[in-house]
Amino acid sequence: MTRATFLLQDYLTDSASRLPDKTALVCDGERLDYRELEARSSALAHALVERGVTRGDRVVVFAENTAETVIAFWAVLKANAVVSIVNPQTKLDKLVYLLDDCRARALISEAHLARVVADAARRTTHVSAIIMAGTLDDGVRARIAGLPVTSWAEATSGDHAPPRRRCIDLDLASIIYTSGSTGEPKGVMLTHRNMLAACASIREYLRLAEDDVILGALPLAFDYGLYQMIMAFAQGARLVLERSFAFPAQVLKTVVEERVTGFPGVPTMFAQLAGMKSLRDHDFSAIRYVTNTAAALPVKHITMLRNLFPHARIYSMYGLTECKRCTYLPPEDLARKPESVGIAIPNTELWLVDELDRRLGPGQVGQLVIRGATVMRGYWEKPELTAEKLRPGPLPGEQVLYTGDLCRLDEEGYLYFVGRMDDIIKSRGEKVAPKEVEAAIVDIPGVREAAVIGVLDDLLGQAIKAFVALDPASPLDAQAIQQECRARLESFKVPKYVELVSELPKGLTGKIQKTGLT
């Protein structure tokens, strides 16, 4: 197939051309082949264009992990527009903010979300088309009365070739909203070239194959979850899409039945696995690789994964939405460098700088800088925040990403994550990285998860406070945890306060959220 420019949606089109009858997606008991996904997404793309969506317009997909969300993602790209998937748990006020912020021309959602969709649509002046999947019963129709709503069945009917392509690879493909630890959501602008580069690099080091069967239990609104779907279809593999990991026993049953070969997860998922007693009853022999990102895996979870998946390659990875992925730890290095997040991904460079922007050597802690084709275009209509992150690089005219993450490199060039620059606790005149204290606490037998923050203290400036979730049968108390910390950490890093909790607060991606901890 000859094209002037290869775009992200060409992954799906090419796989549909090569493997039309192969099952591409398994979701909610439905099995869709590549031909069906290509046809339905092309039809939906036409529906968007007919309803006024033009090149560069933003389309928000407010939906769960469903076949409709997958189809909508590719359809928006085929319509020459910019796709932004928003988690369906997002509250009304935030949804309105997102719709207004990116001035979304269209909104794709589901009938069971009709209340929040209708209320949001009536509070924004930008949305001129709504496409809604699911059953539009009398209650739903009453909610959406007077709004420009088209049913999913109508929008995806007919036999259509993709609309005329008008984009080049420098055009935006997606806006992924990230809140970080504080402040209003920021829209990370990613071009087709950004996302193609990220996919090519990750596919290379993961050694993806056409016969892979990849688990998709992470939210598609989370870039880590979204890229599982993109890479599966780029490879011509099969995606097994789950709505969430809320019921791990059921997900694992599906993993076994579908002979899943790729298991992407985050630390909270692996903590759940560690607490399950029936894991040995499952046949995981088909799994070829396991990946982790969002936060570095505790060593005890690495040990658990190696025992559970003895034939799998286990990848510890690190990244951020602003450049998708920074590093990966080659599986063969896992045993000798278990605390490292690895080396730069292919086609990417990294280095560390101090407060004066001077490059640092091995063993020194500094801010991580990323140079490569995956680095975002910037934050949507936030030039000041963009200027803080994107700064001039080594070559004239280029920009590199200042991540805001503190890291160190060892003598062999392997990276170790220390903490966020804005998370560092200053106690007794010393700088303490919460990540180091959390890692020490999680390493204590009987601890499931931990989160560490700094709290105001008249004597210390900031005192260290740890919130700890224990395994159900753990006999530990706060004093025992402090005692264990004294054996593992310097005295100024030992938490002054330890609070036992049943669960730690999680964000929509399953990542521990500290903003509500005091």
DSSP 14-67: HHHHH-TTSEEEEETTEEEEHHHHHHHHHHHHHHHHHTT--TT-EEEEE--SSH
**174 domain-assigned:** no
User: Does 173 map to a domain?
Assistant: no
Same domain, 410 and 432: no
C-alpha–C-alpha distance, residues 200 and 194, integer Å: 10
Whole-angstrom Cα distance, residue 476 to residue 446? 7
The pLDDT score that the predictor gives to residue 483 is 92
Last residue of a domain, one of 368, 391, 419: 419
Phi, psi of 298 (to 5 degrees): -60, 150
- Is residue 348 located within the same domain as residue 393? yes
393, 419, 445: which is the final residue of a domain?
419
227 in the same domain as 375: yes
Tokens of 110: 């589901």
Q: What is the DSSP string of 178-246?
A: E--SSSS-EEEEEEHHHHHHHHHHHHHHHT--TT-EEEE-S-TTSHHHHHHHHHHHHHT-EEEE-S-SS
Q: Count Cβ atoms within 10 A of the Cβ of residue 181 and give its class: 0-12 exposed, 13-18 middle, 19 or more buried.
A: exposed
Please indicate, yes or no, if residue 186 is contained in any of the structural domains. Answer: no
DSSP 3-state of 269: helix
Q: Classify residue 5: in a domain, yes or no.
A: no
Question: What type of residue sits at position 472?
Answer: P
Contact 39, 88 (CB under 8 A): no
Q: Answer for the pair 460, 427: CB distance below 8 angstroms, yes or no.
A: yes
Cβ contacts of residue 92 below 8 Å, gap of 6+?
Answer: 116, 119, 120
In a domain, 517, yes or no: no
Q: What's the pLDDT score for residue 1? A: 43
Q: What is the CATH number of the domain that holds 80?
A: 3.40.50.980
CATH code, domain carrying 388: 3.40.50.12780
| pLDDT given for residue 65 in this prediction | 97
Residues 229 and 154 reside in one and the same domain: no
Residues 144 and 200 in one domain: no
- The closest of 210, 221, 199, 254 to 31, measured between CA atoms, is 254
Q: How many domains does the chain have?
A: 3
- One domain, residues 67 and 198: no
Averaged over successive runs of 10 residues, the pLDDT of the chain (518 residues) comes to 82 98 97 98 97 98 98 98 95 95 98 97 96 95 95 93 93 89 81 98 98 97 96 98 92 96 91 81 93 78 88 94 95 92 97 96 96 98 96 96 95 92 78 84 91 83 90 90 89 91 80 78
The answer to pTM > 0.85 is yes
CA 483 to CA 412: how far, in whole Å?
34
Q: Does residue 16 sit within a domain?
A: yes
Partners of 362 in the β-ladder: none
* Cα–Cα dist 66/250, whole Å: 17
Q: What CATH code is carried by the domain that includes residue 494?
A: 3.30.300.30
Same structural domain, 359 and 449 = no
Can you spell out the DSSP letters for 99-164?
Answer: HHHHT-SEEEEEGGGHHHHHHHHHT-SS--EEEEES---HHHHHHHTTS-EEEHHHHT-S--PPPP
Considering the domain boundaries, does residue 176 fall inside one? no
412 and 269 in a single domain? The answer is yes
Domain match, 374 and 494 both: no
Final residue belonging to a domain, choices 122, 153, 168: 168
Structural domain of residue 220, as residue ranges?
A: 193-419
- Same domain, yes or no: 201 and 235: yes
Please indicate, yes or no, if residue 214 is contained in any of the structural domains: yes
Count of CB atoms situated within 10 Å of the CB of 314? 18
Residues with Cβ < 8 Å from 369, sequence gap 6 or more? 350, 351, 352, 353, 400, 401, 402, 403
Do 375 and 282 lie in a common domain? yes
| Short-list 276, 214, 216, 273, CA closest to 243 | 216
| Residues 106, 52: Cα–Cα separation, whole Å | 9
Residues 403 and 346 in one domain: yes
Q: What is the pLDDT of residue 303?
A: 86
Cβ neighbours, 10 Å, residue 82 = 28
3-state class (DSSP) for residue 342: strand
> Can you give the pLDDT at residue 182?
47
